[in-house]
Amino acid sequence: MLRVEAMRDHNVLVIIPDGPLESADFKFLVKEISPILASKGKLAGVIVRTESFPGWRNVGATACHLNFIRAYQHQIDRVALVTSSTFLRLASRVAHFVVKPQIRSFGLAESDQALAWLEEDRGQTVLRRTVLHNAN
């Protein structure tokens, strides 16, 4: 099960898993993220807050998670993992090789720092990407 909170004034979605991830969680997440993307075009960031890695209920849930990432990764600038999970901290260091959003991990007591990171340099990042794109 997932709990999702939209921080609309920050253009950030907070996701809090409660137990192993299920296929229905990602269908629910699509329903939550779609109206935000329709009005804003993209998210400044996503905060995933969990003490430990919840895992997936089954292979179908893993496939739904991967499909969600594939479908929405270009509409999310950054992902902050607020966790004490060693696995998630290591995953955040490797993930940048395979997904578009910048990913960074923070300790459980660092939610404010995670939000600040999601919001920092947003204008400069967009400008830098535009300049690089136009240079090609």
Domain assignment of residue 35, given as a range: 2-135
Residue type, 70: R
Say what the pLDDT of residue 80 is. Answer: 96
Say what the pLDDT of residue 120 is. Answer: 86
Q: How far apart are CA 79 and CA 61, in angstroms?
A: 20
The tally of domains found in the chain comes to 1
Alpha helices in 3-110 (DSSP H): 23-40, 59-72, 86-95
Say what the pLDDT of residue 93 is. Answer: 87
Residues of the chain scoring pLDDT < 70: 121-136
Say what the pLDDT of residue 28 is. Answer: 95
- CATH assignment at residue 101: 3.30.750
Mind listing the pLDDT tens digit for each residue in 16-53? 999 999 999 999 999 999 999 999 899 999 999 999 99
Say what the pLDDT of residue 134 is. Answer: 41
